[in-house]
Amino acid sequence: MSESDPLLLRAARGESVERPPVWMMRQAGRYMKVYRELRDRHPSFRERSENPELSYEISMQPFEAFQPDGVILFSDILTPLPGMGIEFDIVESKGPLIQDPIKTLDQIKNLRPLEPQQSMSFVGEVLGRLRNSVGNKAAVLGFVGAPWTLAAYVVEGKSSKNYAVIKAMAFQEPELLHKLLDHFAKSIATYLRYQIDSGAQVVQMFDSWAGQLSPIDYDTFAAPYQKKVVELLKETHPDTPVILYISGSAGVIERMGNTGVDIVSLDWTVDMADGCRRLPKHIGIQGNVDPGLLFGTPEAIRSRIVDAVLKAKGRKHILNLGHGILPGTPEENAKVFFEAGKGVNDLIRAVT
């Protein structure tokens, strides 16, 4: 609780702040020219995200370009999988591919509990370096994938349109899926503890594909494991703010608020005012600007930021997009987003 803590950390704790902090999901990546140039020199995603020099350099690219209030580790939600015995790759224009998708109880029994100090020391190194570099100018963010979304990848074997394979498992052999989800929940909690011990000050859990579940199944396959991760983490790290993001979450917003997380990250299909009304006052809010808006004019971007900030007034709020920034987004529009976010008080004065 010090004056000199970064704005995003103070805001996430619920302290009163001069303006909402701003960062972007997927703020490092393909829309940036420096990233594409580095990718040409290092075509393997696993190398870019697991070589600490490269992961550090990429994490810092958006900070150097735009000075966001948060710097997120450059990594992927799938990065812990090899440490549990599941090999993957990310293939250009195809996305994630799992070598040996999980189908049987034997495969689940053979999974190892994650020991991040052993299998992922590169992450600890990068987070420590990021903390040293950004000091109090930005908060360092860690992140993980939630059990349901990780299970969706390892059972489907790749990105999916309709999630038929994992739903077949859910509705034919639920005990099998529950064992897998439970394994992930424990390992992911261990991983989050490691990220925080290494320098992460705020952490986000991505349950990106939990919005594919009916609420009744969200309550069975997603929420209990989100809760388990949060409970295990809070036992040892009660003061680190936790954010939960789901894509397509409009049907489960109230449920997200009941998982024990501190902040709910909304996508853009719900109005910010409605999202706030549907969550108790003590839950903070992040989001929910349409990433597609960054293909629009600077005026359009600014006016939606003002709209989001005014509607979230009175509760803890972190300004962000409603999902990751899209490849092909003009970099100058990312700059407009960050500048408008930082200058939002002036923009509001100008319109009221």
Write down the least CB distance from residue 276 to ligand CP3, Å: 22
Specify the stretch interacting with ligand CP3 by CB under 6 A; choose among 88-96, 187-195, 218-226, 341-349: 88-96
Residues touching ligand CP3, count (CB under 6 A): 22
C-alpha span between 67 and 99 (Å, rounded): 38
Minimal CB distance residue for ligand CP3: 208
State the residue for tokens 């309709």. 162
Nearer to ligand CP3, 210 or 233 (CB): 210
> Looking at 6, 19, 45, 167, which residue binds ligand CP3 (CB under 6 A)?
45
Q: Is residue 252 a contact point for ligand CP3 (CB under 6 A)?
A: no
Q: Beta-carbon neighbour count of residue 110 at 10 Å? A: 12
Q: Is 143 in the site for ligand CP3 (CB under 6 A)?
A: yes
- Contact between 267 and ligand CP3 by CB under 6 A: the answer reads no
For the CA atoms of 289, 292, 296, 301, the dihedral, rounded to the nearest 10 degrees, stands at 10
Give the one residue of 6, 20, 70, 96 binding ligand CP3; rule: CB under 6 A.
96
Residue 159 binds ligand CP3, judged by CB under 6 A: yes
For residue 208, what is the DSSP state?
G
Helix (H, G, I), strand (E, B) or coil at 229: helix
When asked if residue 72 is in the footprint of ligand CP3 (CB under 6 A), the reply is yes
Sole window of 10-18, 20-28, 168-176, 344-352 interacting with ligand CP3 (rule: CB under 6 A): 20-28
> Considering the rule CB under 6 A, would residue 68 count as an interface residue with ligand CP3?
no
**Number of Cβ atoms within 10 Å of the Cβ of 303:** 16
Closest distance between ligand CP3 and the C-beta of residue 4, in Å?
25
Of residues 25-44, those binding ligand CP3 (CB under 6 A): 25-30, 39
Expressed in percent and rounded to 5, the helix, strand and coil fractions of the chain are 50, 10, 35
Q: Which stretch binds ligand CP3 (CB under 6 A): 11-19, 74-82, 105-113, 183-191?
A: 74-82
DSSP-derived 3-state class of residue 320 = strand
As measured in angstroms, the least distance from the Cβ of 80 to ligand CP3 is 12
Q: Which helix (H) or strand (E) element contains residue 119?
A: helix 116-119
CA 309 – CA 296 distance, rounded (Å): 19
Give the nearer residue to ligand CP3 in terms of CB position, either 46 or 186. 46
Of 15 and 100, CB closest to ligand CP3 = 100
Q: Does 80 bind ligand CP3 (CB under 6 A)?
A: no
Among 34, 38, 65, 90, binds ligand CP3 (CB under 6 A): 90
- The reply on whether position 152 binds ligand CP3 by CB under 6 A is no
CA distance 76 to 21: 23
Q: Is 76 in the site for ligand CP3 (CB under 6 A)?
A: yes
* Interface positions, 228-247, toward ligand CP3 (CB under 6 A): 247
Q: Give 97's strand partners.
A: 89, 158
**d(C-alpha 268, C-alpha 180), whole Å:** 31
What is the rounded distance in angstroms from the CA atom of residue 96 to the CA atom of residue 255? 28
Q: State the minimum distance, in angstroms, from the CB of residue 137 to ligand CP3.
A: 17
The dihedral through the CA atoms of 322, 1, 146, 117 has a sign that is: positive
- Alpha helical stretches, state H, 199-237: 215-217, 223-236
CA distances from 17 to 20, 102, 238, 244, 279 (A): 7, 46, 21, 21, 21
- Applying CB under 6 A, the residues found at the interface with ligand CP3 are 25-30, 39, 45, 72, 74, 76-78, 90, 95-96, 143, 159, 206, 208, 247, 324
